[in-house]
Amino acid sequence: MTAPFDQRYRRSDGRLIWTIAKLAVARDAAGRPKHLIAVIEDISERKAMEQSLRESERFVKSTIDALSEHICVVDEKGCILTVNKAWREYSHNVGVHITQDWIGVNYLDICDKATATGPRDAAAFAEGMRDVLFDRREDFTLEYSCSTEAAERWYLAKVTRFQLDGPVRVVISHENVTQAKLAQQHLTFLAHYDSLTGLPNRVLFYDRLKHTLLQAERSDWTVAVMFIDLDNFKMVNDTMGHAAGDALLKQASARIVAGLRANDTVGRLGDDEFGVFLPDLLSANDAGLVAQKIMDAMACSFMIDNKEHFVTCSIGITVYPHDARDPDSLVSNADTAMYRAKQIGRNNHQYFTAHMNTRMLEHARLENGLRMALERQELFLEYQPQVDMQSGRIVGVEALMRWHHPELGLVAPTTFIPIAEETGLIVAIGEWALGVACAQNVAWQKRSLAPLVMAVNLSARQFKQKDMSDTVRQVLHETGLNGNWLELELTEGIVMENAEALIATMNRLKTYGVRLSLDDFGTGYSNLGYLKRFPLDAIKIDRSFISGIGADFGADESMIASTVITLGHSLRLAVVAEGVETSEQLRTLKALKCDIMQGFLFSTPLSAPAMTHLLEQHAPQ
């Protein structure tokens, strides 16, 4: 029998026929050829199946070559049957070099070599690969990284076992998930770190503090928590812009970090607020040394846009376990101590005490009450007369704000006005006071009393409002008061803070006829060059310079009063003396030619009805 051979031909109906033929020679008993035998078999169906299989394999091959995933298929022994184009590129990137074609190489040998010399996750992958291959599990997934000279890459490896009608096949894929991993890391960073300074944010800071306190409880540690707030940071934002403020915050955070140990933690808790905790201190006093180190670092100038700027900081300190044992209480205590540091002049550090907590609770109580005071009509004005020193005639009154708390009774202005300033409530309260004072002056004029000037204090917060001059104009319009009978009192702190902007606002107020005076003159730093440019009508000598006149130690006060009066008159300004309480003070001021006096010697501050009665008594006959 000859070797079989196949052939194909087309029938008359166009169908392609495949056949396989086998030829044999029949011989007689003597072995001589007798005749030829041909066996022909129709294999068209088998050939069609083979063709379909080849096309299917080509399709599968082209499909997996088109995939971005790195695909490798092995048999039940681990021998590689096929790999795609991405696999060859991937293997080169991760440093797996095969000198021969991949086909036929046992993948387990590659795993063993990688376990010995490759990345740290190679052993875990090799174990998972064997589990799937030897039918101990159906699939296996592992995320791993590998570093190259260019960068670190992340891959997701999947090993899956298949067995349908044919033999076992195991598909191995490696997907590059670097971009997804980097995006995930970025989201994690944003969730736990401050994007500007790179410091832990409030969430991560509290989490680390909580874990540190657990360790402190086990190890009997002393832990200090500090709350750091930059002094006058808002002024940097307001005058130089937020970009400059951001630059300063980055420099400030770097200085704080530089002053700490490796195991200390600093976080950004707010705009210009930072938290620090110091674990395992030998003594609570060590925290004060660290705080001073940070303050010294802050005292150096900050370079922003090639210009020097100076910003100090206030620091509050609390100690675990002496003051509190949980993160919220410790941070709150440190915040309270920081607030105390602000109150006593800024640029210092204070340790928390229980007394501070009491004070803060009282402060919070007053703040909450003050927020409702206007609505509940608990605020009212009293009026103190201002008297012409030569004629003795009442020429004006100063409106003074008062608060009657429903539980605490009368609250001193020195107590609630700073709270109103701090919280911004002073803007609404000040506008209310201006309206009430102007309306009261109009009411007196309607009673045919001699017209007088109504003096109303303006806070720094009010004067910084962009629409402040428009507010004054609107109040004058609504109450019907002529601007000539309104005087706005400013403090030296206001006029020295932003003189150029202030002059523009003052000039707008002068167009409404409003008088302007400088209150508490002499208690701050006055730039006389600017003072000449301010459209002022009067200056008021602070009561601290009046109180000593006539006493044994009053020579200096008399000299200061004389100097202020001379200066005021040289600038063509009226001079008002506040806090006149004795006849000796009055005589001295008269001799110094002071223009107007105000004080208990003539009258205490009075309610509106009482002031009306006094004006009627002193009305010209």
d(CA 139, CA 224): 51
Rg, Å, the chain Cα set: 45
Task: Indicate the pairing of strand 265-268 with strand 302-304.
Answer: unpaired
Mean pLDDT along residues 124-146: 86
d(CA 520, CA 542): 4
Q: Minimal CA–CA distance to 95: which of 118, 72, 74, 111? A: 118
Structure tokens at 459: 């806070």
On whether the pTM is more than 0.85, the answer is no
pLDDT at 599 over 80: yes
Q: What is the pLDDT of residue 453?
A: 96
d(CA 162, CA 125): 19
Mean pLDDT along residues 585-612: 94
Work out the pLDDT band at 337, boundaries 50, 70, 90. very high
Q: Minimal CA–CA distance to 293: which of 322, 323, 261? A: 261
Work out the pLDDT band at 6, boundaries 50, 70, 90. low
Mean pLDDT along residues 83-108: 71
d(CA 163, CA 300): 73
Q: What is the pLDDT of residue 442?
A: 96
Contact present, 366 and 378 (Cβ < 8 Å): no
Q: What is the pLDDT of residue 553?
A: 47
Q: What is the pLDDT of residues 487-535, one digit of tens each?
A: 999 876 666 556 677 888 889 999 999 999 988 776 655 556 667 788 9
Mean pLDDT along residues 264-292: 94
Considering the chain, what percentage of its residues have pLDDT values greater than 70?
82
Q: What is the pLDDT of residues 212-271, one digit of tens each?
A: 999 999 999 999 999 999 998 887 877 788 888 999 999 999 999 999 999 999 999 988
d(CA 339, CA 259): 22
d(CA 582, CA 580): 6
Work out the pLDDT band at 173, boundaries 50, 70, 90. confident
Q: What is the pLDDT of residue 44?
A: 62
Which domains can be identified in the chain, with CATH numbers?
Answer: 5-48 (2.10.70), 67-181 (3.30.450.20), 193-352 (3.30.70.270), 377-617 (3.20.20.450)
Q: What is the pLDDT of residue 601?
A: 92
Q: What is the pLDDT of residue 523?
A: 62
pLDDT at 393 over 90: yes
Number of C-beta neighbours around residue 293 at 10 A: 15
Calculate helix-pair angle for 425-446, 354-373, nearest 10 degrees: 50
Q: Could you tell me which residues are beta bridge partners of residue 363?
A: none
- In 213-270, beta strands by DSSP E: 223-230, 265-268
Tokens 């928590």, located at residue: 225
Q: What is the pLDDT of residues 8-44, one digit of tens each?
A: 555 555 566 666 666 666 676 666 766 666 556 666 6
Number of C-beta neighbours around residue 515 at 10 A: 22
More confident residue, 44 or 384: 384
Least confident of 17-31, 387-401, 449-463: 17-31
Question: In sequence order, which residues have a C-beta less than 8 Å from that of residue 387 and are 6 or more positions away?
Answer: 393, 394, 395, 596, 597, 598, 602
Structure tokens at 186: 């970025």
Mean pLDDT along residues 358-362: 75
